Amino acid sequence: MRHVSDKIGFIEHLPSKVAAYITREIATGNFRPGEQLPGEHQLAGSLGVSRNVVREAISQLRADGVILARQGVGAFVQEPERRSAIRLDSEALKTEGSMQRLFELRGILEIEAAGLAAERRNEEQLQKIEQALDRMRGEERWEDGSIEADLEFHREIAQATGNDYIYTFVCFICEQIRRSIYIARDTNPLHELVEINVGEHVRVFEALRAGDADAARAAMGAHIRGAGERIGAVPADTASNPDQG
């Protein structure tokens, strides 16, 4: 194991970065649920940090519910179903299959959110969704401003569900969605990509405006499937079933 500076770069707050590294090791299966973590001395030596840094990192993960500390025994990886908080590390999304899992989550979460929003949205909420769409297809469409508008479009749909939990989760994954948009822009012809992406969002909006929950789910499913396909991250069963969502 190399020093933490080799693995996660130079950092200002080492405990947070060590916590992110351990989280990444858990996400990739190197540290498994129920498994005891290496001791403070071993982690400190292998990562090139002090034991105090490791101790603080473990404390952060324990507060997040990721790690269970047993006094006099050690620290253990908590089973996912027992964790009290969610921690997504951006570096973990660079591992094989992680983006695919993100799009699988989006399909589960945002397709139903679109259906609920179609049924529950009010005129003010619909206007906010349309304003985000107008920014996406306006003068900003080639710039980063359109990415912000894209994320706002999805957040406003989540808000229109009237369900705070859905809104919180969609907001939570927006930074990961942002990264997927940058990947798409780096790997696809920009003009074609923007036109296709805007068209998908227009179809979602039209279904929301019509109050058609089934059409909203279908349009959101098509968008998420298309966005995943454009970066090679769509789950295989979704890609093979064009009617899904």
Domain ranges of the chain: 4-82, 96-239
The answer to whether residue 245 scores a pLDDT higher than 60 is: no
Give the CATH number of domain 96-239. Answer: 1.20.120.530
- What does pTM read for this prediction? 0.66
Q: Which residue has the higher pLDDT, 143 or 124?
A: 124
Task: Look at 31-35, 40-44, 88-92, 101-105 and tell me which has the smallest mean pLDDT.
Answer: 88-92
Q: What's the pLDDT at 10?
A: 40
Judge whether residue 244 has pLDDT over 90: no
CA torsion sign for 223, 227, 229, 233 is negative
CATH class of 4-82: mainly alpha
pLDDT tens digits along 26-72:
877 889 889 999 999 999 999 999 999 999 889 888 887 888 888 88
Q: Once rounded to an integer, what is the mean pLDDT over residues 129-149?
A: 88
Is a pLDDT exceeding 50 seen at residue 159? Answer: yes
Amino acid at the residue 210: A
Among the residue ranges 27-31, 79-83, 106-110, the one predicted with the least confidence is 79-83
| Selection from 76-80, 181-185, 238-242 with the highest mean pLDDT | 181-185
Residue with tokens 């609920």: 116
pLDDT of 242 > 50? The answer is no
Q: For residue 27, what pLDDT is reported?
A: 74
Look at 2-11, 20-29, 149-158 and tell me which has the smallest mean pLDDT: 2-11
- Structure confidence by residue, pLDDT tens digits, 118-136: 999 999 999 999 999 999 9
Does residue 179 carry a pLDDT above 80? yes
* Cα–Cα separations (whole angstroms), residue 41 to 17, 230, 244: 17, 45, 50
